[in-house]
């Protein structure tokens, strides 16, 4: 399967791209000037820019063929308590983590509709289901992508296109390293498995959703979070 993974140069995106490549998929990974993993073909893309997204897809289509599956992973954080968060901080995160997902999946569906087949996987977050103090912008975006996936599932299911969300909990990535020690301690006390996840565990869920065995799964949220999101 020809797959495009956004934000494939680090963290969860890099792990997903590597896992899919190892499983025999042809993987293209977007980046903004950084290296992507070995075995992955890089393409520059800024998900906050319509033209940049279109150029990335056109490059893949011209050099390799239509994208058959997309992993919408690219995201940022700009944390802060709501009383101190600026509209600009809120807007930047929404534009990347929510509107950026819309840009990518909308462009991806162009050829999926023609092929009457496709897999869409959006990387959400457990915090988008339960909330997280200091992350009003991030959690709003991650809650929003669930609505995107479920609307896509209803719109596109008759064309053989699935759309699902993976909701990681606390994961051992560079982004997680910016979290305070106190928050880490608090988080671990609430995780039934008592540890953070690994990017490779998120990648395993993404690989499953692209497999033939997942052909009848759509519109769902798969929590890969050690149990912290139970009940959401």
d(CA 40, CA 141): 28
Decide if 119 contacts 69 (C-beta within 8 A): yes
Instruction: Write out the catalytic residue numbers.
Output: 138
CA angle 230, 130, 69 (to 5 degrees): 80
Decide if 228 contacts 168 (C-beta within 8 A): no
Note the Cα 216 to chain centre separation in Å. 20
Strand ranges across the sheet with 41-44: 41-44, 26-31, 2-5, 69-72, 118-123, 161-168, 221-224
Q: With left for phi above 0 and alpha for psi between -120 and 50, is residue 155 left, alpha or beta?
A: alpha
């Amino acid at each position: 399967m020809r797959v495009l993974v956004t934000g494939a140069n680090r963290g969860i995106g890099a792990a997903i791209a590597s896992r899919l490549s190892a499983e025999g998929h042809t993987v293209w990974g977007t980046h903004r000037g950084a290296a992507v993993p070995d075995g992955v073909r890089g393409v520059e893309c800024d998900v906050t820019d319509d033209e940049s997204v279109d150029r990335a897809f056109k490059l893949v289509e011209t050099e390799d063929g239509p994208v058959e599956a997309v992993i919408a992973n690219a995201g940022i954080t700009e944390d802060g308590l709501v009383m101190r968060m600026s509209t600009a901080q809120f807007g930047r995160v929404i534009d990347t983590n929510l509107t950026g997902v819309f840009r990518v999946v909308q462009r991806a569906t162009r050829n999926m509709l023609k092929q009457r087949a496709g897999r869409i996987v959006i990387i959400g977050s457990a915090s988008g289901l339960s909330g997280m103090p200091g992350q009003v912008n991030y959690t709003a975006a991650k809650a929003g992508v669930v609505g995107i996936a479920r609307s896509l599932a209803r719109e596109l299911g008759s064309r053989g296109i699935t759309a699902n969300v993976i909701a990681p909990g606390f994961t051992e990535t560079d982004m997680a390293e910016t979290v305070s020690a106190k928050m880490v301690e608090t988080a671990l006390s609430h995780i039934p498995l008592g540890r953070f996840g690994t990017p490779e565990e998120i990648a395993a869920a993404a690989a499953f959703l692209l497999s033939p065995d997942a052909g009848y799964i759509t519109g769902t949220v798969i929590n890969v979070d050690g149990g912290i999101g139970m009940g959401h």
